[in-house]
Amino acid sequence: MAEALVRAERRGPAAVLTLDSPANRNALSAALLEQLHAALREAMDDPATRAVVLTGAGPVFCSGADLKEQRTGVRPVVNLPEILTLILEGSKPVVARVNGAARAGGLGLIAACDLTVGLTTATFGFSEVRIGVAPAIIAVPVLRRMDPRAARELFLTGEPFDGERAREAGLLDRAVPEDRLDATVDELVAQLALGAPEAVAATKQLLRDLPGPDLAADFGRMAALSAERFGSDEAREGIAALLEKRRPAWAQPD
């Protein structure tokens, strides 16, 4: 039986996925990537899951690619782009709980998440240039999230930076002390669980799609989406709940 490198647990309305490979600093080995992909798919397909929380075990969030494994020529069954695409395009919002240091590919995981919370004391670094490679794959989500000027400097220098700089650069939405990490993540999950599941999925997609290249086309697509949502069962329930001063069905306590 394969060693479990990704732990999946239920925490209220969230599925918490923990990278649990402390021996190599939660590096993205072939086995870990495959298990993470499977765990993400299961969480995305679970109607009871309202949000996914991604975190790491021990003092490190994720150290990036497993460089020892890369030297052996191991070809992973699941590649990092598949993981990042699933996080970006999956119907459930994903919250990064950055519990410690992150490097290289670990920053790609963070950047792909919808909401990101990390420790002010955590250290980050696009260390690729310092070992002779480039932050190529992770640039796809990172450059969608970070301030481009900050990304340019940090990509080119490989300089380590802390949680506060990560927040200023846009990699983290919130930088918090250790004693506020879990509470902040739980607060965000609780807020996400108040939204109607289909509406949250539609909103996540429009955040990816806009702005498009053409203003009129953007308005046309969004007018169609607005009409579709106002005609949905969720909208009928949500509006009725508002008028009747009660919680909608999807926001009922567990």
pLDDT the model gives residue 254: 56
Q: Reply yes or no on whether 187 is catalytic.
A: no
Q: Residues 90, 70: one domain?
A: yes
Sign of CA dihedral 208, 172, 61, 127: positive
Which residues neighbour 27 within 8 Å (Cβ) at sequence distance 6 or greater?
21, 62, 63, 64, 65, 66, 67, 69
Q: Residues 156, 75: one domain?
A: yes
| Tokens 């000027």 -> residue | 149
Q: Which of 3, 71, 61, 70 is nearest to 35 (CA)?
A: 3
Which residues neighbour 60 within 8 Å (Cβ) at sequence distance 6 or greater?
22, 25, 26, 99, 100, 101, 102
Q: Residues 204, 132: one domain?
A: no
HEC readout, the chain: CCCCCEEEEEECCEEEEEECCHHHCCCECHHHHHHHHHHHHHHHHCCCCCEEEEEECCCEEECCECHHHHHCCCCCCCCHHHHHHHHHHCCCCEEEEECCEEECHHHHHHHHCCEEEEECCCEEECHHHHHCCCCHHHHHHHHHHCCHHHHHHHHHHCCCEEHHHHHHHCCCCEEECHHHHHHHHHHHHHHHCCCCHHHHHHHHHHHHHCCCCCHHHHHHHHHHHHHHHHCCHHHHHHHHHHHCCCCCHHHCCC
Q: Residues 48, 150: one domain?
A: yes
Does any domain span residue 1? no
Find the domain containing 228 and state its range: 197-251
- Please tell me which residue in 69, 82, 89, 128 is annotated as part of the active site: 128
pLDDT the model gives residue 1: 62
- Residue 30 burial by Cβ neighbours in a 10 Å radius (0-12, 13-18, 19+): middle
Report the DSSP pairing between strands 115-119 and 174-176: parallel
Does any domain span residue 224? yes
How far is residue 115 from each of residues 21, 35, 87, measured CA to CA in Å? 23, 22, 11
Average pLDDT by stretches of 10, the chain with 254 residues: 90 97 95 97 97 97 92 83 97 98 98 98 97 96 97 98 98 98 98 97 96 95 96 97 96 70
* Chain segment 41-97, per-residue pLDDT in tens: 999 999 999 999 999 999 999 999 998 888 887 778 889 999 999 999 999 999 999
pLDDT the model gives residue 253: 66
Q: Residues 38, 129: one domain?
A: yes
pLDDT the model gives residue 205: 96
Structurally, the chain folds into a number of domains equal to 2
Q: Which of 162, 55, 84, 65 is nearest to 154 (CA)?
A: 162
Q: Residues 54, 144: one domain?
A: yes
Q: Residues 181, 75: one domain?
A: yes
Q: Residues 168, 235: one domain?
A: no
How far is residue 109 from each of residues 60, 114, 142, 196, 230, measured CA to CA in Å? 13, 10, 9, 25, 34
Q: Residues 225, 135: one domain?
A: no
Sign of CA dihedral 40, 44, 47, 50: positive
